[in-house]
């Protein structure tokens, strides 16, 4: 008799397992496709759709036009093509969301790790987090914009000044949830056997944090980051809608909503298009966050 040869299948990599679980979430796939289409549209679209240059008299005659072959999304109150403005506004709004999210996740992860790993820092940092959570976000942002907009604009220009100020203001006021999530993960991780073993052989805290703690908190941070993008886009839209965001000639989806507010009853499409863009972006990012949460959870992934 010959012994049966047992062929062991090579285990799937962690990245492949995460992707297999992620694509089973239909909402997450829908969100990924929609967000990808939006990003491609605002990045590549301006190279494919170049509006014709109109003289002032021609632009005034074409103001507030409805959708047509010449102007697929119509024109605004100054005769400017809404499709090109929607793409330019989307580039700014998405950039605000991603950059503000990066700032918030960096600050939140740093504070969460320090508070969770070092017991003497836990109390002061968490009280600082509670203080920021107690602050009213929108009034605080309005005060920051009113106080520093002109000063920063005089240094780096009105457009870049507004971008830097709004991104920084949203980022430094949106890190608290990430800090709490990371702190809870670190409190559990620092009692694991491999961390205790590293401490027993004399590894310094910095090495333990970067080698053992930080890689294991990436998963919850990624999920919080996806939700942070949606919050940043909504916050920027609120500021622009209130007229305290970017300058009028530097469009964002929120600014287009603000500009179309006066014409909403006569030309409702002026607020429909940016409203749909904001809603689709926030919905897709939230779905992606739900899919990542399930895909990065080994208990769900192993079912």
What are the tokens at 222?
């990624």
- pLDDT, one tens digit per residue, over 205-225 is 888 888 888 888 888 888 888
pTM score:
0.82
Transcribe 32-71 into DSSP letters.
HHHHHHHHHHHHHHHHH--PPP--HHHHHHTTT--S-SSS
- pLDDT, one tens digit per residue, over 239-287 is 887 777 777 777 888 888 888 888 888 888 888 888 899 889 989 988 8
Task: Identify the structural domains of the chain with CATH numbers, from first to last.
Answer: 23-39+81-301 (1.10.3720.10)
What are the tokens at 301?
């992934």
Residue with tokens 């010449």: 70
- Looking at residue 192, the DSSP 8-state letter turns out to be S
111 pLDDT band, cuts 50/70/90, is: very high
Distance CA 95, CA 271 (A): 21
What does the mean pLDDT of the chain come to?
83
- Looking at residue 212, the DSSP 8-state letter turns out to be I
């Amino acid at each position: 008799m010959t012994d049966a040869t047992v062929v062991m299948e090579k285990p799937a990599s962690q990245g492949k397992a995460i992707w297999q679980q992620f694509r089973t979430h239909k909402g997450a796939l829908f969100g990924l496709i929609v967000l990808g289409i939006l990003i491609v549209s605002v990045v590549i679209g301006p190279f494919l759709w170049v509006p014709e240059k109109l003289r002032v008299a021609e632009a005034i005659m074409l103001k507030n036009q409805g959708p047509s072959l010449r102007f697929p999304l119509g024109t605004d109150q100054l005769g400017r093509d809404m499709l090109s403005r929607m793409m330019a506004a989307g580039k700014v709004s998405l950039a605000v969301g991603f950059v503000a999210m990066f700032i918030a996740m960096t600050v939140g992860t740093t504070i969460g790790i320090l508070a969770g790993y070092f017991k003497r820092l836990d109390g002061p940092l968490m009280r600082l987090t509670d203080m920021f959570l107690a602050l009213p976000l929108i009034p605080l942002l309005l005060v920051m914009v009113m106080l520093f907009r002109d000063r920063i604009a005089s240094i780096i220009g009105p457009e870049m000044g507004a971008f830097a100020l709004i991104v920084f203001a949203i980022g430094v006021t949106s890190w608290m949830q990430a800090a709490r999530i990371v702190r809870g993960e670190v409190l559990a991780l620092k009692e694991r056997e491999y961390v205790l073993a590293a401490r027993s052989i004399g590894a310094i805290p910095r090495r333990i944090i970067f080698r053992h703690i930080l890689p294991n908190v990436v998963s919850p941070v990624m999920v919080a980051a996806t939700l942070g993008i949606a919050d940043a886009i909504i916050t920027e839209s609120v500021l622009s809608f209130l007229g305290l965001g970017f300058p009028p000639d530097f469009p964002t989806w929120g600014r287009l909503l603000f500009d179309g507010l006066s014409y909403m009853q006569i030309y409702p499409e002026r607020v429909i298009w940016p409203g749909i863009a904001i809603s689709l972006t926030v919905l897709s990012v939230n779905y992606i966050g739900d899919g990542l949460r399930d895909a990065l959870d080994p208990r769900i992934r192993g079912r």
